[in-house]
Amino acid sequence: MALFLIRHGETGWSRTHRHTGRTDVPLTAAGEVQARALGRRLNGVAFAAVWTSPAARARRTADLARLMPTPRVLEDLAEFDYGRYDGLTGEAIRRQRPGWELWRDGSEGGESPAGVLQRAQRALAVLESESPPGPLAVVSHGHLLRALTVAYLGLPIAAASGFVLDVASISILDRDHGSPAVHLWNLAEPGPLGRQGAADPAGPRPAAPDGETRGATAGG
């Protein structure tokens, strides 16, 4: 089960590094441009199924990218519920709660990291049981896709802190000699993927330190 993980395009909150959980912030004009570009980059990949988060920003990204077959919505692909932290930047949260770290502490009034991991594991089970054979596209959110990655790899949820995702990025999870593996991570540069899912030779941009990424560290 090869998974193409696709983070939706830019929103006003992702641009300003605000955690965007259940608040359904729409794509910006730039985010819509990014979504259309995703479709061009994925041209030539024949997906067996396309799954999206229920959030409009994810469904709009899938629509603008013209991903086929018709996307199916899976509730468990919704972003981390940040509770009282929804709409806040990491810096603002740490002013209220010094030393706070999402993957260890969770969110006040929202989900725990363990709960998000369980949800990601449920999502993987549905993807496997309800999809035809072949590569799957999963259009979702920064933190949920990181939880899905560690669930796929069989890692503890704390390991999600080591996987950074930009908006409108593409990552690929697949098997390698029978074991789950990361085949591509956080490809956010323009450029097509080959028919076998190979990245542009230039490769992905390196991730900047936490708090300095291009819409990557805050979820949404």
Of the residues 8, 17, 19, 141, only one is catalytic, namely 8
Selection from 146, 142, 19 nearest residue 90 by Cα? 19
Active site (annotated) includes residue 79: yes
Look up 19 and say whether it is catalytic.
Answer: no
Buried/exposed 160-198: b ≥16 CB within 10 Å, e otherwise:
bbebbbbbbbbbbbbeeeeebebbbbbbbeeeebeeebe
Query: Cα–Cα–Cα angle for 92, 98, 102, nearest 5°?
Result: 75
DSSP letters spanning 122-151 = HHHHHHHHHS-SS-EEEEE-HHHHHHHHHH
Catalytic residue among 10, 17, 19, 79: 79
For the annotated catalytic residues, the residue numbers are 8, 79
